[in-house]
Amino acid sequence: MLITLGIIGVVAAMTMPMLIAKYQKLVLETKLQVFYAQINDAFRRAHADYDGTFDDWVIKDKNYSYNEIKAFLETYLLPYVKYTKIERCNYDNGQVFACVYLVNGTLMRMAIDGNGGDIVFHPNTKNECNPREKFAFQMVKKKTQGSKAYNLSLIHI
């Protein structure tokens, strides 16, 4: 009887870390899918509300200050996203970001330059540099075929 219990204990000890890792990966994937859908929806809704043109959203060859990034977010994205607070945060290279704390316990960092912007998603509210703890996207201007106007596109990098 003790041998059987010992074997069951060893098997459980070997499988539990694998099950926990699989669960954590599933939670992370779900958070990322929810974020991506939420941000894409916000861009689509802003696109519809602002007459379908993004030409005036981002000024070419301009580096944005925190206040300008915050104003951009408050105008175009945050009306469609549930969040708790927004604050200034810097990154290792000194680039200025606006950190938006979302209601589901995740964090979005955003910086804007003349080509579009950088959006970094953190599945928790820690502003960490660990590559496993962040997902980077770019908001880029690109022309659609047959159109003179630019559209914003969210791409994963």
**Residues 91 and 118 sit within 8 Å (Cβ to Cβ):** no
State the pTM of this model.
0.76
Instruction: Kindly report the number of other CB atoms within 10 A of residue 60's CB atom.
Output: 9
Q: Name which of 24-38, 41-55, 142-156 the model is least confident about.
A: 142-156
Span 138-157, pLDDT tens digits: 877 665 555 544 445 555 55
Work out the average pLDDT over 38-62. Answer: 77
Share of residues in the chain with pLDDT > 90 (%): 17
Model confidence at 80, in pLDDT bands (50, 70, 90)? very high
Q: What is the mean pLDDT of the chain?
A: 80
Phi-psi region of 61 (alpha: psi -120 to 50; beta: other; left: phi over 0): left
